[in-house]
Amino acid sequence: MCVTAKAVQICYSDCVCMKEIKKQIAIKLFPQEHIRAAQRKHWLALVFSLATHVVVILAMVGILLFFVHQQYPFIFLAVTFSISLILLSFLGVYGTFTVMDWYFDFYIITNKRLIHEHFFKLSGSYYEEVFLTENIHSVELVEKNLFYDFFDVDDVYIHFPTYDREEPFIFSAPANASEIERLIEESSLPGKKEEGIA
């Protein structure tokens, strides 16, 4: 059985079988609870993270090679070759690690909870949940920066009017922020008919 409602994106594809999603998401559902939507962060978040770190690393390597060329020109070629091999190996490992870290980071909306679950063991696990029985004060889309704004990628902030939770629950750069906003607004309205699961 697949999610087929308009504009709903499970992970980053238009229609993904719920059985496959449940294999990847390690949460226990309560009785009568079902997943309405599950998204990873937008692929731009992955690209932006990789590109930022690669640029910084290449700049540092460039400065190091410039220093070596100025001070020790007779070993410049050997040092360049050695650093290139080390750099390629490091970038390969780091790139794989970053992709896997992104792959196992989920934002989940059920008919009872909002959940952020990250369960990539090499970088540590993270779990946060909010029950929809709590009153939701507001849901808003917040721009991250100009780069994300150019591709229409936003954060989703869910505010609660209680003193025991002053900080908002944040969906950071999800794959489909407007759809998350819609689902949460629908879920927070009493008596609202649920949509999105076929």
pLDDT reported for residue 134: 67
The Cα 18–Cα 38 span in angstroms is 10
Quick one: which of 174, 171, 166 has its CA closest to 46? 174
R_g (Cα) of the chain, nearest Å: 22
Residue type present at position 134: E
The pLDDT, as a whole number, for residue 69 is 86
Ranking 101-105, 165-169, 177-181 by mean pLDDT, the lowest is 165-169
% of the chain residues with pLDDT over 70? 77
Pairing of strands 154-159, 105-110: unpaired
For residues 7-27, average pLDDT: 49
Q: Which residues contact 95 (CB under 8 A, 6 or more apart)?
A: 50
Residue 155 binned pLDDT confidence (cut-offs 50, 70, 90): very high
Residue 123 DSSP symbol: G
142 has a pLDDT exceeding 80: yes
Q: Residue ranges per domain, the chain?
A: 18-24+34-39+104-187, 46-100
d(CA 63, CA 67): 6
Residues 6+ apart with CB under 8 A from 175: 9, 11, 12, 39, 40, 41, 42, 43
Average pLDDT taken over every residue of the chain: 78
Given this model, what pLDDT does residue 47 score? 92
Q: Going edge to edge, which strands form the sheet with 138-143?
A: 138-143, 154-159, 169-171
pLDDT band at 26 (very low <50, low <70, confident <90, very high): low
pLDDT of residue 89: 93
